[in-house]
Amino acid sequence: MELFLEGILEAFRLLLSGDPEVWSIVWLSLWISGTATVISLGIGLPLGTLLALGQFTSRKFWISLVNTGMALPPVVVGLVVSILLWRSGPFGFLRLIYTPGAIIIAQTIIAAPVVTGLTVASLQQLDPRLQIQLYGLGASRPQVVWALWREARLPLLAALMAGFGSVISEVGASMMVGGNLLHHTRVLTTAIVLETSKGEFAIAIALSVILLLLAYLVNLFLTWVQQRSLQQ
């Protein structure tokens, strides 16, 4: 119990003292996971909308594939991305392995199915008569889609939160494609693994507290946006 208390106190000490190494890791974690979440939203929102509203024969197959992707093991993603970006791999010429860009790619692959799947579920729960009514009022296809997004904005924001949560806490893929390089690719989760392997449990607990605090603050903001839109 004393170890946990020591770790919590160490977390606040590191934050309040402005430790440059800790803040560098915090900002890099937020930037990488935030970027991956935004990209996954750009992929998942239109793709999920297409799967939810489209009418084509293979639709159920693609939805089941997306739902399977929601449980995609991060280490498998890390392995595949590592092979593709390795110097001798097909995309080795990009020289992205062990860079923040590689982590963003891996985290986007992890988050995109989550956002896509929850987008499909959010739009499919809407009354199908709403779409018919909108078309009957003379709305164009983009206007109908925008109206449906607004109607399902609460679960769509929940999809965004789920996507961010799936990557901010991810460690396997980030370690494999990023290499955990100090001041370059070290994020909070990989730093926690490193400190634990060194037996520095107080520091590991402190970083864990900072990670939880960061995730809470981001989700607090998104929840505020979600609940504010509920009142409008």
11 vs 69, residue with greater confidence: 69
Q: What is the total count of domains within the chain?
A: 1
- Asked if 110 contacts 74 with a C-beta cutoff of 8 angstroms, the reply is yes
User: pTM of the entire structure?
Assistant: 0.89
**Alpha-carbon distance 90 to 42, whole Å?**
25
Listed in sequence order, the residues at least 6 apart from 213 whose beta carbon sits closer than 8 Å to its beta carbon are 11
| Domain CATH number, residue 216 | 1.10.3720.10
CA neighbor of 30 nearest in space, from 195, 219, 224, 215: 215
Going by pLDDT thresholds of 50, 70 and 90, the confidence category of residue 7 is low
Cα-based distances in Å from 126 to 32, 42, 49, 129, 217: 33, 21, 12, 9, 30
pLDDT at residue 180, rounded to an integer:
87
Apex CA 148: angle with CA 165 and CA 58, to 5°?
Answer: 80
Give the mean model confidence (pLDDT) for residues 100-114.
95
Range(s) of the domain holding residue 99: 2-230
Give the mean model confidence (pLDDT) for residues 164-176.
90
pLDDT at residue 113, rounded to an integer:
94
